[in-house]
Structure 1
C-alpha cells in the first residue's frame, strides 16, 4: 500500500466550519494539499479527475466565504464535487468513491447535509438554486443559494430557461459560471481582477443604485432606461463580456482567475454581502489544473481508471472484445460509406457513443450539439423530413430529457429517425443516475416505433445495418456499456426482418425469451436446467416492438414455463409479452409466465455483475424462477403439448 500524501493543514479540516479558523494566507496551502489528496484518491478509485482539479481553489473559497450548509451550494454537474466531499465530513470515506456501499461519484442528498441537491445530469443547478432561494424568501429565512455551473452545462437550454426567471430570487441567488474550456472569455489578469473586485464592491453597488434612482426620478422613462442600458454596456466593455447575462437579469462580475485566491476571495465576499441581485460571477479555470498529465490531455483525464500518480499511466485492462460503442461507430462508418444520406448526431458524448469514429471518416456529416438532447432529437427529425438518414446516438439515461421531442417531433410524424441508445441497462460505478433502465418502457409504448436490443456485437452491427435501410418510421437499438462477448462480426451485415426473433436453442419444457445481452446468462441457466432434466428453449427475441407474435404463440403452446428476461424496468418487453398473451387468451390454459426485469428501485453503484445478481437477472436467478414456477404448476404435458 502506497503512503498517503502529507497534508497537515487539510488534516485539521473535517467540515467547512473548521476552515473559518484559518487565515486567508493559509488557504493557498490548504488548496495545494486538497489537490494532492484528490489526485491520490482518484488514482486508487478511478472516477472523474480533470473537472475536480479545476475547482480546487473555487471549492476552498466558496466554503470559506459562505456559511454552508445553511447557504446552499449546488454543483453542476456533480462530478466536480470530489474536493467538496473531502471538505464536508467525508474524507474518511473518500477512498470508497464509486464502489459498492461507498460514496457516490456525484452529489447526493442522502449522503450529506452539504449536498442539498443531487446532480448527476447537467444544467439543473440554476433552476434548483432559484427554488432554494425563493423558498427562503417566502419563509423569511436567511441563506443564499449558490449554483456552480460549468464543464459544458451551459450548453443546455434549461440553464437559460432558469436564468430567464432568476430575478424572482433576488440577491439570495449567486451563480458561479465555471468557464473551464475558455469557450466564453479570454485569459484574465490583474486588471480584470481589479475591475471585478471594484464593480462587485458594496460602495460601487450602492453608488450605482443611487444613480439609478436619481436618473429614474430626474429623467423621463426613455432616457432613464437608456442611461441604465449604457451603464450595463460600459461595464460589459470594461469586463470583457457579460451583456447576455445582464439582459437575463443578472449583475455580471468577471471574468476572474478561478485559481487565484487573492482574486476570488474579495469578489465572493462582495457578492455575499451585496444587496444587488441575482449575481453571476464568471470564473475561468483549467481542467486538470495542477496535475501535468491532466493539463496536457483534459479529454483523456476527464474520467479515468486507476492510475499511477507519477507517470499518469492508467491501469486499463486488456480488452477481450471490442466495446459496444466502438462496434456501433465502426458499423455506422460502413453504412456511411454505402449511403451519403447517413449523418450522425450526438449530444456532447462523441467518444462515449462511438460517434467520434464516424466523425473522423465523415466530419461534414457529424454533429455534436452539446448538452442539448431535445435539440438533437428535433434536429434529427428535420433531417429525416428532408430525406436524410440521421442516427441520433444518445445514452439511454440522457434520452429521457428529450422524450417530448421523441413523441411529438418523431413518432407522431412517423419520421425515420434512428436512435442508437448506448448505456442500456446497469452501468456499474456511475450508479442509478446513469443506468439505462427505462428506454424500452418509454419507447415501446409509442405507435410507429421499432425497438431492438442487441444480444452481442454481431447482432449490433446487423441492427445498425437494418436501421440504415429502414425508412418506414422511427427505429431504435439499445446496447450496454462495456465490452462485447467476443463473437466474430460478419464482413457483410445482414438486414434483419422487422419484428422477428430467432431460436438459439431448442427444447420442450422451458422457454426463455431474452431481449438484449442477458442472452449469455440465459444460456448458462439452460445448461443448469438441462442437468435437472428440464429441456430448455432459448429465443433471442431481438425486438421489443413489434413482438414476434408467431414465435411467442408457438413457444407458449409447446412449453410449460415461459420466462422473459430484459435489462430494463417494469413496463418494457415482459409487460408487452404479457399483454399480448392476455389479449390472445394464451394464459387461460395454465401456461406459467414469469417476467424478469430490473427491480422497482434505483440501484446504487457497484460492480455490474453484482448489480445484475442483486437485480435477479443472472443465471442462478433464472433457474430459481423456473423451478419456482414448476412447483406451482399442476398442468401436465404430453408430447410437448399442454394436456
Structure 2
C-alpha cells in the first residue's frame, strides 16, 4: 500500500520489493502485475510532488525488465537525462522517499550518484549516457569491479551529436555493452506490434548474428498502407530490412523494433542478449510517453513536466498569479519585434515550449527553427543566419547554453556576428536543482570581447531588452532572465531600445550604494526598507549591463559613497568581478574605499524552492541587509 493514507491504490507485489534483487524471484506474470502497480505508484507520487511524469510512465515495463534481467548495481544502468528515472528510484530502495521528489532535502528529480549506488551516473541534460556506458565498459575491461553497462537513451536525446560520437567510439572498441533506444515519437500500431512479436520470437531462438536476416524476413507481415505513422513506419521498416544500417555501420548489432510496453517481448529478448551478446548491441524499443495515464497520454508533450495535479482528472494545481512568466513576456515581445522586422528569426534546441518559441512559431512558423537537442549546432546555425543578413534570436536555457560555448567563442564572438542570445532559466531554478541552475552564463559570456551582456531586473525591463537586442547589429548580444513569474510591475505597450552599457538609478541614499544586476533588485529594495527603519538608506542602482559596464554610473557611486556592494544571480567571475577589476584599475582601493560582491557560493546548491536556494546562497533581503550593516561596522544582534 502507498505511504500516503489518502491514496487507496493497492500495490501488494510492489510492497514486497525493496531492491531490484527482489524481482529475481517473481514469475513473468507477476512482473506484469508489478509493472501495473509501479505505474500507479509513479502517478500517485508525482500527483503530490509535481515533476516529470510522462517520460517515467513510458519506461515502466522497460524499467521492470532491465532490473529483472540485469544485476544492478554491479551492472550499470545509465538513464540518459534522468527525466524517466522515477520508477527506477521506486524499485531501488527509495520508495519510502518518493514523495519528497524535488523538495528541499528530498530525492533529486534526476539520477544522482550521491543518492544511491543504483544511480551509477548523474544526469540532468541529455545525450551523455552512451559515453558514460562506454566508460563503464572499458573500466570493466581494465579490471574494475563492474558488470554490463546499459545506456537507456530517448530518441530525442539521439539528436545530440555526442550520442553518435560515443556510438562511433563504442563500435570501434567492439566490447560488450547495450544501448536501449527508447523511441516514443510514434504510437505502437497493431501492425508494428505484430512485427515486434515476430522478431522477438526469432531473437529468442536464433543466434545473435542471425538477427539481421530474421528482420528481413519480417517485412511481409506489414500491410500497406500502414494504419498509423505511415511515413515513420516505412522509414523504420527500411532500416529493419537493411539490418539497422546506420547503427551497424557504427559497429553495433541492431535489434528491433520491439514493443517497449510488452514484457512478453522485452523479457525474453533481454535474457537472450544478456546470455549471447559479445559486442555492442543497440535495442530499439517503441514506447508511448505518458503510457497508462490518459491525462498524460492526451497532452502533446506526454505530460513531460507537471505541477502537482488531481489524480482523477490530471488537472494541475498551480498557484494563481496576475504576473506573466518571463518566458511568456519574452515570446510576446519577440512576436511584436518580428512584426516590425521580417529578418527576425527564432532558434531553440528542443525546448520550444520551455523557451516560449512555440508561441512565436504559431505566428511565424517559417521563421522559427527547433534544431533538436543540439546546442552546438543551434549556436553555429544562428551564426550562419546572422552572416546571411538575418537577425537570429537563439533562445536556450542558461545551463544548456554551456554546451555551445566553444561555438559562441569561435563562430560568433571572433567573427563579431550579431546573434541575439535569449538566456532563459538564469539563476537558481528550484526543483530541478544544480543540473539546471543558470549560474555561469554571466561569467562565460561577459569574458568575451565584443559581447554585450544584459540582465532584466523585472518583466518590463525584459521587454526593453528584447527591443534592444532586435535593434543592435554591431555584434553578439545576450540578455538573461529567470524561470517563473515576473514581479507584477506595470508593463510597457512596446519595448524601447536601451542605450548600450547604461544602467539606471532606482533610489538615492547615503553612505552605501548597492549596484544590482538582475532580479535580485526586488530583494535589494526589501532590504532597503528594513535599513531605512534603522536610519540607513542605501543608494540603489540597476546595472542592466554586465558588459559594457556603465563606468559613469560606477564612478558616481564611488564618488558619493564610502562603500559599494554588487549583487548578482551568478557565480564568481561575473558582473561583480568586472566591477572589481575596473575599481582596481582606477586605484580606488588605494584610498580605503570599501567594496563587496554578493554572488552565488562556490558550491552546487541542491534542489529546493528558489526562495530556499537563494537563502542558502546568502542572497535574500535579510542577508543583503546584514551585508550592508557589516560593511558599515554596525553591530547587530543575531536573529534567533
Asked if these proteins are the same fold (TM beyond 0.5), I'd say yes
The equivalent residue for 2:594 is 592
Please give the residue correspondences for 1:499-578 in structure 2 after superposition, counting only pairs within 5 Å. 499-578=501-580
**CA deviation profile, 1:570-590 (whole Å, cap 9, x unmatched):** 000000000000001112211
Could you tell me whether the CA contact under 8 Å between 1:54 and 1:285 is conserved in 2? Answer: yes
2:81 is aligned to: 77
CA contact (8 A) 2:76 2:146 kept: no
Indicate whether 1:57 and 2:61 are aligned.
yes
Distance in 1 between residues matched to 2:314 and 2:17, nearest whole Å: 28
Find the counterpart in structure 2 of residue 174 from structure 1.
178
Shift of 1:3: 2.7
Aligned positions of 1:151-230 closer than 5 A: 152-182=156-186, 188-199=192-203, 201=205, 203-205=206-208
Task: Check whether the contact 2:347–2:371 (CA below 8 A) recurs between aligned residues.
Answer: yes
Offset, 1:489: 1.6
1:357 equivalent to 2:359? Answer yes
In structure 1, what is the Cα distance between the partners aligned to 2:201 and 2:236? 16
> In 2 relative to 1, CA 207–452 (structure 1 residues): closer, same or farther, beyond 3 Å?
closer
Could you tell me how far 1:467 is from its partner in structure 2? 0.3
Matched residue of 1:533: which SS?
coil
Q: 1:510, CA displacement in angstroms?
A: 1.1
**Which range moved further: 171-180 or 466-475?**
171-180
RMSD: 2.0
1:35-434 equivalence runs, <5 A: 35-139=39-143, 143-150=147-154, 152-182=156-186, 188-199=192-203, 201=205, 203-205=206-208, 242-299=244-301, 301-434=303-436
1:626 maps to: 628
CA distance in 2, matches of 1:26, 1:463: 58
**Compared with structure 1, are the counterparts of its residues 275 and 56 closer, same or farther at alpha carbon in structure 2 (3 Å cutoff)?**
closer
CA distance, structure 1, for counterparts of residue 267 and residue 332 of structure 2: 49
Number of residue pairs aligned between Structure 1 and Structure 2: 609
1:90-138 deviation digits (Å, cap 9, x = unpaired): 0011110000000000000000000000011000000000000011011
**Structure 1 moving runs of 4+ over 4 Å:** 183-187, 206-209, 233-241
Say if 1:196 and 1:239, in contact at 8 Å, map to a contact too: no
In structure 2, do the counterparts of structure 1 residues 381 and 234 end up closer, same or farther at CA, with 3 Å as the change threshold?
closer
**1:449 counterpart (451, 457, 481):** 451
User: What secondary structure sits across from 1:164 in the alignment?
Assistant: helix
What is the distance in 2 between the residues matched to 1:234 and 1:306? 37
User: Structure 1 regions of 5+ residues with no counterpart?
Assistant: 210-232, 634-643
CA distance in 1, matches of 2:327, 2:363: 16
Q: Which moved more, 1:576-585 or 1:587-596?
A: 587-596
**CA offsets, 1:272-326, max 9 Å, x none?**
1124320000000000111111111141611111111111111112222000000
Deviation at 1:182, TM superposition (A): 2.3
2:187/2:287 contact within 8 Å kept: no
Q: CA deviation at 1:206?
A: 6.2
Q: Is the 8 A contact 2:203 2:211 kept in 1?
A: no
SS at match of 1:322: coil
Is the contact made by 2:176 and 2:278 (CA closer than 8 Å) also made in structure 1?
no
Name 1:227's counterpart in structure 2: none
Give 3-state SS (helix, strand or coil) of 1:604's partner.
Answer: coil
Contact 2:347/2:394 (8 A) holds in 1: yes
Q: Distance in 1 between matches of 2:501 and 2:127?
A: 38
Partners of 2:425 and 2:437 within 8 A in 1: yes
CA distance in structure 2 between the aligned counterparts of 1:37 and 1:584, rounded to whole angstroms: 62
Q: Counterpart in 1 of 2:219?
A: none
Q: Tell me the SS of whatever aligns to 2:46.
A: helix
- 1:4 is displaced (CA, Å) by 4.1
Q: Cα 1:581–1:13, aligned 2, differ >3 Å: closer, same or farther?
A: same
Secondary structure of 2:208's match? helix
Distance of 1:184 and 1:418 partners within structure 2 = 40
Distance, in Å, in 2 between the alignment partners of 1:375 and 1:125 is 20
Contact residue 148 and residue 175 of structure 1 kept, 8 A: yes
Instruction: Please say if residues 133 and 169 of structure 1, whose CA atoms lie closer than 8 Å, have aligned partners that are also in contact.
Output: no
Provide closer, same or farther for how the CA distance between residues 455 and 76 of structure 1 changes in structure 2, counting only shifts above 3 A: same
Q: Distance in 1 between matches of 2:46 and 2:621?
A: 34
Aligned match of 1:613 in 595, 598, 615? 615
1:207 shift after superposition: 6.7
- Cα deviation for residue 185 of structure 1 reads 10
In structure 1, what is the Cα distance between the partners aligned to 2:197 and 2:253?
16
- TM-score by length of structure 1 reads 0.92
User: How far apart are the structure 2 equivalents of 1:185 and 1:408?
Assistant: 46
Q: Give the Cα–Cα distance (whole angstroms) in 1 for the partners of residues 59 and 359 of structure 2.
A: 31
Distance, in Å, in 1 between the alignment partners of 2:288 and 2:67 is 20
* Matched-pair contact (CA < 8 Å) for 1:416–1:473: yes
Q: Is the Cα contact below 8 Å between 1:451 and 1:477 reproduced in 2?
A: yes
Q: Among 486, 501, 508, which residue is 2:488 paired with?
A: 486
CA contact (8 A) 1:257 1:285 kept: yes
Structure 1 186/515 Cα, relative in aligned 2: closer, same or farther at 3 Å? farther
Query: Is the CA contact (8 Å cut-off) linking 1:185 and 1:241 kept in structure 2?
Result: no
Distance 1:141 1:483, change over 3 A: closer
For the Cα contact (< 8 Å) 1:148–1:178, is it kept in 2?
Answer: yes
**Given the superposition, is the C-alpha separation of residues 625 and 460 from structure 1 closer, same or farther in structure 2, using an over 3 Å criterion?**
same
Larger displacement relative to structure 2 (259-268 or 289-298) = 289-298
Q: Distance in 2 between matches of 1:512 and 1:141?
A: 55
Q: Report SS of the residue matched to 2:182.
A: strand
Q: Deviations over 1:174-225 (max 9, x none)?
A: 0000001129999622333332442465x4236789xxxxxxxxxxxxxxxx
2:38: which partner in 1? 34
Contact 1:193 1:254 in 2 (8 A): no
Separation in 2 of the partners of 1:300 and 1:476? 32
Cα-to-partner distance string for 1:456-499 (whole Å, 9 max, x where unaligned) = 11100000000001000000000000000111221132110000
